[in-house]
Amino acid sequence: MNTSRDRTALITGASRGIGRATAEAFAAAGYNLILTCYSSMAELETLADKLISQYKITCRTVQADAGDPESAVRLFEEIDHLDVLVNNAGISHIGLLTDMTAKQWRRVMAVNLDACFYTCRAAIPLMLKKQSGRIINVSSVWGAQGASMEVAYSASKGGVNAFTKALAKELAPSNIQVNAIACGVIDTSMNGCLSASELSDLKAEIPADRLGSPEEAAQLILQIAQAPGYMTGQIITMDGGWY
C-alpha cells in the first residue's frame, strides 16, 4: 500500500502565497514535489532547498508560464508519474471592464483558466495508468458571486468552477477526483494593492473579522488530497463566513 512518502504532487505558482504554503504542507505530509513559478525562481529554489533539508523529500523546481501551452508540454516531458495536481497559479486584474485591453483579458483567462486545461490534459494520462489521482483547483468566491472591477478575474474563476464540476464527472469512473477550493480574502501579495483603510473595511465585512491565511488554504488543499474517494466535483468555500 502506498504512503504519502511514495507520492508526488505538482503545485503550480508555488513561490509565494497559497502555493508556497501548500508546498510546505505537502512536504510535511511526506509528498515528493514538483514546483513551478513564472518568474520568482530564486525564491522557489530557496523554498525547495528548505523542504528537502527539513522533510527529506525530493523536490524539483521548474520555471513555467502557466498560461502557455508549450510551457506545459515541456513541464510534463520530465514527469513520468503523478498523484496530485494542484492548479494554484493565478493573477488578478482590477479595473473597469471598459478600460481593459483584449491582451489583458486574454492573459487573465490564460493563466487562471486555460492553465487548468493544459495541466489536466497532460496529467490525466499519468493518473489513468494507475486508475487514481487527485486534481485540486484553486478558485475564488468571486467565481460564484462576481466582483465589480474584477470582471475578468471573476469570469475566469467561474470557468474554473464549471471546469472542475464537468471534469469530475468525466473522470469519476477512473477513480480520479477533481475538486476546487473557493477562497475568500487570503492574506497574500495579491491583495497588496489594498490600502490599510480598505483592508480594515474589508475585514469588517467578514464574520471571522480577519483575512484567511495561506496556511489555512494549504491545509484545506491537503485535506482534499487525502479525502475519501467518493468526494468529487465539489467547490469548497473557505471565506470566514463572508458569502
pLDDT above 90 for 189: no
Average pLDDT value over all residues in the chain: 96
Give the per-residue pLDDT at 191.
Answer: 76
* pLDDT mean over 24-37: 98
Percentage above 70 pLDDT, the chain: 98
Contact call for residues 152 and 105 (beta carbons, < 8 A):
yes
Give the per-residue pLDDT at 1.
Answer: 41
Residues 87-110 pLDDT 10s: 999 999 999 999 999 999 999 999
Residues with a known catalytic role: 153
* pLDDT mean over 180-190: 93
Residues 45-72 pLDDT 10s: 999 999 999 999 999 999 999 999 999 9
Q: pTM here?
A: 0.95
pLDDT above 60 for 3: no
pLDDT above 60 for 124: yes
* pLDDT mean over 141-170: 98
Give the per-residue pLDDT at 4.
Answer: 65
Kind plus residue range of the DSSP H or E element containing 232: none
Instruction: Please state, in angstroms and rounded to a whole number, the distance separating the CA atoms of residues 82 and 76.
Output: 10
pLDDT above 90 for 198: no
Instruction: Please state, in angstroms and rounded to a whole number, the distance separating the CA atoms of residues 190 and 23.
Output: 18
pLDDT above 80 for 193: no
Q: Give the model's confidence band at 229: pLDDT under 50 very low, under 70 low, under 90 confident, else very high.
A: very high
pLDDT above 70 for 75: yes
Find cell 491565511 and name the residue: 213
Give the per-residue pLDDT at 122.
Answer: 98
